[in-house]
């Protein structure tokens, strides 16, 4: 099980997010291959906009890597039974019923038949400035970054509801990645594994998040922009 092997391993985790919108079969192979060589633990596939089938991209990724591949769908078009599993996210920072439960009802039968490993995930959008695609598309408000008490209480509610993973999201391209004190506050009261993403560009960003208690970091745009930085980002985990 990916959940046990990756998220409960106690190791620091480096995750690459591949947005199908920016890829062809060839480019996705190259990214998956480079990510594997760099020491990536997990590949997520998803984005805010893509509205075409992702089967062929996921097959290409699976051909090029032994890393587990999880769907992280931004919408219902991005489902595929070719992946290993899915981060089944409920957007518990928001109050839009479609992102809390509505879409989950629509895909539940598909997921049951697919055999995908389901990782129930509490997805918290934190204000990372400027307005993010996920905020706009999901039509939800992010939690203000300095409202540590609300962030921690939201994550705790997610744990009490039985979710298995906390994902702190500042939004793709965020000017301000998730703050350390938000992670520390959550880790003080919640025992679930926690990953953080949005605006992470440098080894220093990653080091800070790991130090604060994040189990994993998710990097998307920085890798899309320049595959060569993958190695330096992925190896920060070796310091812990
Ligand atoms: C994953 O949305 C992020 O949580 C991806 O953000 O594109 O800024 O890495 P970046």
Query: At residue 222, what are phi and psi to the nearest 5 degrees?
Result: -60, -35
Q: Report CA dihedral (124, 117, 78, 141) to the nearest 10 degrees.
A: -10
Query: Which pLDDT tens digit goes with each residue over 31-67?
Result: 999 999 999 999 999 999 988 899 999 999 999 999 9
Residues 6+ apart with CB under 8 A from 151: 124, 126, 143, 168, 182, 185, 186
pLDDT at 16: 98
pLDDT of residue 117: 98
- Residue 48 near ligand 1, beta carbon < 6 Å: no
Residue, of 50 and 96, whose pLDDT is higher:
96
What backbone torsions phi and psi does residue 113 show, to the nearest 5 degrees? -75, -30
Mean pLDDT of the chain: 97
Global model pTM greater than 0.95: yes
**Cα diameter, the chain:** 45
The verdict on the CB of residue 19 being under 6 Å from ligand 1 is no
The domains of the chain, with CATH numbers, are: 2-239 (3.20.20.390)
CA distance 240 to 72: 27
CA neighbours within 13 Å on the CB side: how many for 31? 30
17 close to ligand 1 (CB < 6 Angstrom): yes
Q: How confident is the model at residue 15 (pLDDT cuts 50, 70, 90)?
A: very high
| Distance from residue 20's CA to the centre of ligand 1 (Å) | 13
pLDDT of residue 201: 97
Q: Calculate how far, in angstroms, residue 19's C-alpha sits from the geometric centre of ligand 1.
A: 10
The pLDDT tens digits of the residues spanning 167-225 come to 999 999 999 999 999 999 999 999 999 999 999 999 999 999 999 999 999 999 999 99
| Tens-digit pLDDT profile for residues 120-153 | 999 999 999 999 999 999 999 999 999 999 999 9
Burial of 56 (0-12, 13-18, 19+ CB in 10 A): middle
In tens, the pLDDT along 112-129 reads 999 999 999 999 999 999
What radius of gyration do the chain's Cα atoms show? 16
């Amino acid at each position: 099980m990916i959940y046990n092997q990756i998220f409960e391993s106690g190791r620091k985790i480096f995750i690459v997010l591949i947005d199908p919108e920016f890829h062809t079969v060839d480019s996705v192979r190259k990214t998956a291959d480079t990510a594997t060589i760099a020491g990536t633990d997990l590949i997520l596939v998803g984005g805010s906009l893509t509205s075409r089938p992702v089967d062929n991209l996921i097959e290409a990724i699976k051909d090029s890597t032994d890393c587990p591949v999880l769907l992280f769908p931004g919408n219902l078009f991005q489902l595929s039974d070719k992946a290993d599993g899915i981060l089944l996210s409920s957007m518990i920072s928001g109050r839009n019923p479609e992102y809390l439960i509505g879409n989950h009802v629509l895909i539940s039968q598909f997921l049951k038949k697919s055999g995908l490993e389901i990782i129930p995930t509490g997805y918290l959008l934190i204000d990372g400035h400027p307005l993010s695609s996920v905020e706009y598309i999901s039509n939800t408000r992010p939690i203000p970054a300095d409202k540590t008490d609300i962030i921690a209480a939201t994550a705790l509610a997610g744990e009490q509801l039985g979710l298995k993973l906390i994902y702190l999201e500042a939004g793709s391209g965020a000017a301000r990645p998730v703050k350390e004190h938000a992670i520390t506050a959550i880790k003080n009261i919640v025992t679930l594994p926690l990953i953080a993403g949005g605006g992470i560009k440098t080894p220093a960003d990653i080091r800070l998040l790991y130090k604060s208690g994040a189990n994993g970091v998710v990097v998307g745009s920085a890798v899309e922009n320049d595959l060569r930085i993958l190695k330096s980002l992925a190896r920060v985990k070796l310091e812990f």
